[in-house]
């Protein structure tokens, strides 16, 4: 890990730079694949599946027998663990259900808001070096609670054309409508445009590598909404001498093993603590099965010594981390001043892994600094808020004059007339 002692604010942008390619570098490839999938549908999807995933797929749709095999093959202990995670995730997201908001803004003017589900949603679940069945729980569970009519899943196959059984089990458990063996840019394109077998969706959810992230962003140009830009994983830990160095090192490595493009950062006001964590990383990484991946991510990561808590907090907000762990003595100060973060983990016994799997909060979070302007996935991500209003004759009389004056001031005479004609009708009725 690269170390920086008391870096100047003017250098923060360079120090905190993410190890990812730019949109400009990736966009041409994404647009090429989008165009091909839009024009050639399933044939194009199969072609890119062979090119990128090295798998020849005759039928991309998962059938019931494949699901049944996965359910049968899965370790019972893993099923129990998934059941616990599902229970907690469901509890947390059901608690987010809100009642309609109804208010009479003026006498005779009734306004209200109700939430309705997004009808057709597409879930993207990365496969790659780690099949993220946990992400499926995070997306499918709130989608079902919201009442989405169609929930389709795209996830990349292995070279033999198979999907990890845990992903299939979780999909079946959560009531996913259709499952497809499709990954990468081509999956996002298929859900954006629709193909002969894949439904065109209204909104696309799920994390992925930088190619998937750019594909999702470009999908918005073609009518699909997305949850947020969610790319390579990242973690920032803010810790001091009150923290446990071995715990912090394990948290940093837990994110580093996601992929070579992951980034982890440790901020501290203690030089001795940074030294202790660095030693722990060296010790713990040596025994990791995914140490080669973690080592590359660690090389892109940072140890930063800050002069005081205020500077450390400013740096956190400037970076806007996907995951933020606070393991420091002045916890209340940090919690009060957090402005930008996807999800926050507090104290020595709150590992980021808890949020990844089973605490109940959603782990689909904004990366690459998008925590400045995006929330993580929640129940509202699968809902639309629709406003309603109903106005009586008396109500229109109460607000009509204001509408006429405002419309006149904006030069929108038809707007004014739509009110005036009604007010005149009311006056006639009252004369009678």
Please check whether residue 233 is in contact with residue 151, taking contact to mean a CB–CB distance below 8 angstroms: no
Spell out the alpha helix ranges (H) of 306-391: 309-319, 331-337, 352-357
DSSP state of 100: P
Q: Is the pTM of this model over 0.85?
A: yes
Choosing from 93, 258, 323, 363, which is the catalytic residue?
323
pLDDT tens digits, residue range 151-194?
A: 999 999 998 899 999 999 999 999 999 999 999 999 999 999 99
Whether 322 sits among the annotated catalytic residues: the reply is yes
Whether 323 sits among the annotated catalytic residues: the reply is yes
Q: What is the pLDDT of residue 11?
A: 94
Residue 261 CA to chain centroid, in angstroms? 17
Q: In CATH, which superfamily holds the domain spanning 2-19+232-360?
A: Nitrogenase molybdenum iron protein domain (3.40.50.1980)
Count CB atoms within 10 A of the CB of residue 229: 20
Please check whether residue 360 is in contact with residue 94, taking contact to mean a CB–CB distance below 8 angstroms: no
Choosing from 93, 322, 352, 363, which is the catalytic residue?
322
Please report the sign of the dihedral spanned by the C-alpha atoms of residue 186, residue 192, residue 194, residue 198. Answer: positive
Instruction: Please name which of 216, 189, 220 lies closest in space to residue 42, comparing C-alpha atoms.
Output: 189
Residue 50 CA to chain centroid, in angstroms? 28
Q: What is the pLDDT of residue 28?
A: 94
Residue numbers of the chain with a pLDDT score lower than 70: 20-22, 128-130, 431-432
Q: What is the pLDDT of residue 22?
A: 62
Instruction: Please name which of 335, 350, 353, 348 lies closest in space to residue 243, comparing C-alpha atoms.
Output: 348
The reply to whether CATH 3.40.50.1980 applies to domain 23-229 is yes
Cα–Cα distance, 293 to 9 (Å, whole number)? 31
Q: What is the pLDDT of residue 349?
A: 97
Cα–Cα distance, 261 to 15 (Å, whole number)? 16
């Amino acid at each position: 890990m690269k170390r920086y002692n008391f870096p100047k604010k003017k250098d923060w942008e360079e120090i905190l730079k993410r190890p990812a390619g730019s949109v400009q570098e990736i966009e041409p490839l994404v647009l090429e694949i989008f165009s091909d999938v839009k024009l050639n549908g399933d044939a194009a999807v199969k072609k890119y599946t062979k090119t990128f995933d090295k798998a020849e797929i005759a039928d991309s749709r998962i059938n019931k027998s494949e699901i049944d095999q996965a359910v049968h093959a899965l370790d019972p202990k893993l099923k129990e663990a998934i059941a616990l995670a599902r229970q907690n995730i469901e509890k947390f997201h059901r608690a987010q259900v809100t009642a309609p908001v109804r208010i009479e803004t003026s006498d005779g003017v009734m306004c209200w808001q109700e939430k309705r589900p997004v009808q057709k949603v597409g879930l993207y679940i990365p496969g790659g070096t780690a099949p993220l069945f946990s992400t499926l729980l995070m997306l499918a569970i709130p989608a079902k609670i919201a009442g989405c009519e169609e929930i389709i899943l795209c996830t990349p196959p292995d070279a033999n054309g198979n999907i990890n059984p845990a992903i299939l089990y979780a999909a079946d458990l959560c009531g996913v409508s259709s499952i497809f063996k499709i990954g990468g840019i081509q999956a996002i394109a298929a859900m954006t445009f629709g193909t002969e077998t894949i439904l065109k969706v209204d909104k696309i959810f799920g994390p992925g590598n930088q190619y998937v992230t750019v594909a999702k962003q470009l999908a918005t140009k073609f009518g699909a909404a997305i949850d947020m830009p969610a790319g390579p994983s990242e973690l920032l830990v803010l810790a001091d001498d009150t923290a446990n160095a071995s715990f912090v090192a394990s948290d940093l490595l837990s994110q580093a093993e996601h992929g070579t493009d992951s980034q982890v950062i440790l901020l501290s006001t203690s030089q001795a603590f940074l030294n202790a964590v660095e030693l722990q990383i060296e010790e713990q990484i040596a025994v990791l099965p995914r140490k080669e991946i973690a080592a590359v991510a660690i090389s892109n990561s940072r140890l930063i010594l800050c002069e005081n808590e205020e500077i450390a907090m400013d740096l956190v907000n400037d970076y806007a981390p996907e995951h933020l762990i606070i393991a420091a003595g002045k916890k209340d100060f940090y919690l009060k001043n957090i402005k930008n973060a996807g999800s926050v983990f507090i104290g020595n016994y709150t590992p980021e892994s808890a949020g990844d799997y089973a605490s109940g909060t959603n782990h689909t979070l904004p990366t690459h600094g998008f925590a400045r302007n995006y929330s993580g996935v929640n129940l509202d991500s699968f809902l639309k808020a629709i406003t309603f209003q109903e106005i009586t004759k008396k109500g229109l009389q109460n607000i009509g004059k204001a509408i006429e004056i405002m419309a006149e001031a904006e030069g929108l005479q038809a707007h004014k007339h739509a009110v005036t004609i009604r007010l005149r009708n009311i006056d006639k009725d009252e004369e009678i």
